[in-house]
Structure 1
Amino acid sequence: MLQARGLSETEAVMRVVWAVVAAVALGAGAVAAQQAAMPAPVVQAQDLTRVSAHVQVIPDRGLSGLPNVGFIVGTKAVLVVDTGLGPPNGETVAAVTRRIAPGRKIYLVATHAHPEHDLGAQAFPAGTTLIRSSVQAREEAADMRVAAAFAQRGADWAALLKGAVFRPADLTFETRHVLDLGGVSAEIEAMGPAHTPGDTIVWVPADRVLFSGDLAMKLQPSMATPTATLADWRRVLDRQAALAPAIVVPSHGPVGDAGFIEGYRDYLAEVARRTAEAKRAGQDPAQAVETVAAAMADRYPDRARLGGAVRMAWKDVEG
């Protein structure tokens, strides 16, 4: 079951756009007050929780701009999944890494190139190996554009992002890369385009734990990549389902299971069906969004994300 919760990275951009509109209508003071009300996304090291034999997670506490940060700990090395927003959060995550895996080699991966997942990487020790797919390695410009939008959300957000830069990959791969961490392996796989061009998942077969990024969550999917199609999303979901995970750690929201994947499948199927019906009835895309939202908003209340799904489906379905 999908459910709305705090804003995530794509919605952050939309918040800034609407903030500009509001500044004209209401004055900059009202906009500043809105931004100040958004809590800063600060990683809390004390919240570290074990979810399986080899996997620990610092949960996002339902806050916008804060990811679930993962640690896959072996006897020889540790893989960190996502960094938090900006160097201060990266320092916190790096400190936790050294505490739970003292003296071990550190690997780092971002589920996708959005700033709360990626722009703490520079704070990790120089010996850290940052792994990116070849596609994600080229996403610096997009990552920094989203960061600029995030910095407008308030002084605390801007402070977290001060001096943040996109850290180049130390190791790139095309499709799949397997790490032997000592007693446990981690399989890193390129999945985009879907939420972003460079979406990446991490699979821990020994524990049947999947880090799904933004590709399977309780939150409605954000379908904001212009080149992605419904077929791309179905492929991504099929691949994740084939792993048969017992535990799914998404980028945002609560830890769950394979029900997140099935929930996304059901959502896409219904959006595609209702969009095709609207198209056959002679509606234009804007009308289709209204029609589909009227039918689904009681179960899927995030209107912006629902609209994005309808617009993607419009390109794919026959009318």
Structure 2
Amino acid sequence: MTEYNPVVRVEESRELARDLVVIPNRGVELVPNIGVIGGSQAVLVVETGMGPRNAQAVLAFAAEYARGRKLYLTTTHFHPEHAFGARTFAGQATFLVNQEQAGELAAKGPSYLEMFRGLDGGIARELRGVELPTPDLVYPDVYDLDLGGRVVRLRAAGRAHSRGDQVVTVPDAGVMFTGDLVETGQFAIFPWFPPHDTDVSGLRWIEVMDRLAAERPRVVVPGHGEAGGPELLADVGDYLRLLRDETWVRRDSAMSEETIIEEVRALLIERHPEWCGREWIDKGVACLCAEHAWGSKARVGTTEEK
């Protein structure tokens, strides 16, 4: 079995716009795309990489890039490769996130740390010495961060990939960081782990993608995979609708969940044979089966009320 090596390579950073660079994940699993966004007075880092070693490399890069400007840090959601290096920035940067994300980090962070440490030797190595952070600044829904001549907007997306997803946009550059709401070259990641974590919602995820697609950013930086244009948002929305429709049409016929998973998996792999992350298809079907049951109960309740 090949060991994961989730290491951020800061030397491969590239400029997306004026005073805005991305450290790409290079297609490496459990390495996120990382943003560094500058204004005249401050610099915002988006994502930390997994664990202290990666975070130290990102912090060193950001400090050199900032050249004396104030540092801020934010994360698109609480999952380990995005946020579990944040403690390394303590005392060096102001860490700010939305309220739901802060709550998830506090409530679920310890169990996710334990789970990821048990996955693979390379992952466990990067998570040595992790101390879960406490944000310095927590906002409810929207926060406009003034970096000096450039305002970056942080927004709680609402429950979708996680309960506390956050979208980071740079309006003057037309750049949007989505975290794992969007991936390129892989099936959407559904962290559906009942009974421990069932906050992912395929239905709300579709609604979020529709809202984001309507904004038509110039550049979309996904959680993992190559950056692209607004078509990335539409592509994810289309995939999620297909996943929902193919799952629900089978669920309507009282087909077993196991059979639905088997059939939908085969169909989607045939449709996208080049995509990785096939294990997430099963999780997505299971999530949408649960949401189908919830939706059916809601419809029955509405009918009875009438």
The 5 A counterparts of 1:266-277 are: 266-277=238-249
- Cα RMSD after superposing both structures: 1.9
| Structure 1 unmatched runs, 5+ | 1-33
2:304 paired residue number: none
| Corresponding residue number in structure 1 for 2:84 | 119
Deviates more, 1:308-317 or 1:132-141: 308-317
Q: Distance in 2 between matches of 1:257 and 1:200?
A: 19
- CA distance in 2: counterparts of 1:159 and 1:276, whole angstroms: 41
Contact 1:84 1:120 in 2 (8 A): yes
CA 309–158 in structure 1, closer or farther in 2 if over 3 Å, else same: closer
Runs of 5+ consecutive residues of structure 2 not aligned to the other structure:
193-197, 297-306
Question: Counterparts of 1:237 and 1:309 in 2: how far apart (Å)?
Answer: 16
Q: Distance in 1 between matches of 2:219 and 2:139?
A: 25
Match of 1:159 among 122, 125, 135: 125
| Between 219-228 and 197-206, the greater mean CA deviation after superposition | 219-228
Q: Which residue is 2:216 aligned to?
A: 244
- Structure 1 match to 2:303: none
Which whole-Å deviations, capped at 9, do the CAs of 1:22-75 have from their partners, x for residues lacking one? xxxxxxxxxxxx2xx224212212111111113201111111121111101111
Q: SS in structure 1 opposite 2:132? A: coil
Residue equivalent to 2:299:
none
Moved more, 215-224 or 246-255: 215-224
1:313 alignment partner in structure 2: 288
Is 1:175 aligned to 2:141, yes or no?
yes
Q: Is the 8 A contact 1:150 1:158 kept in 2?
A: yes
Supply the distance in 2 between the matched residues of 1:231 and 1:122 (Cα, whole angstroms).
33
**Are residue 101 (structure 1) and residue 73 (structure 2) matched?**
no
Aligned residue among 1, 16, 25 for 1:60? 25
TM-score (norm 1): 0.83
Greater Cα shift, 221-230 or 232-241: 221-230
Deviation at 1:90, TM superposition (A): 1.0
1:152-200 CA distances to partner (integer Å, 9 max, x unpaired)?
3444433322211111011001111011111211100111321111111
Decide whether the 8 Å contact of 1:193 with 1:228 is kept in 2.
yes
- Please name the residue that 2:93 is paired with: 128
The letter for the 2-side match of 1:103 is G
Tell me by how many angstroms 1:278 deviates.
1.0
* Separation (CA, whole Å) in 1 of partners of 2:290 and 2:120: 37
- Percent sequence identity over aligned pairs: 33
Alpha-carbon distance, 1:116 to partner = 1.1
Alignment of 1:84 with 2:49, yes or no, is yes
Q: Size of the alignment, in residue pairs? A: 284
Q: Identify the residue that residue 5 of structure 1 maps to in structure 2.
A: none
Query: What SS does the corresponding residue of 1:260 show, helix, strand or coil?
Result: helix
Post-superposition Cα deviations, 1:85-120, rounded to whole Å, max 9, x if no partner, equal 111111111111111111111110011111111111
State the one-letter code of the partner of 2:7: V
Which residues in structure 2 correspond to 1:228-307 (within 5 Å)?
228-300=200-272, 302-307=277-282
Match of 2:154? 188
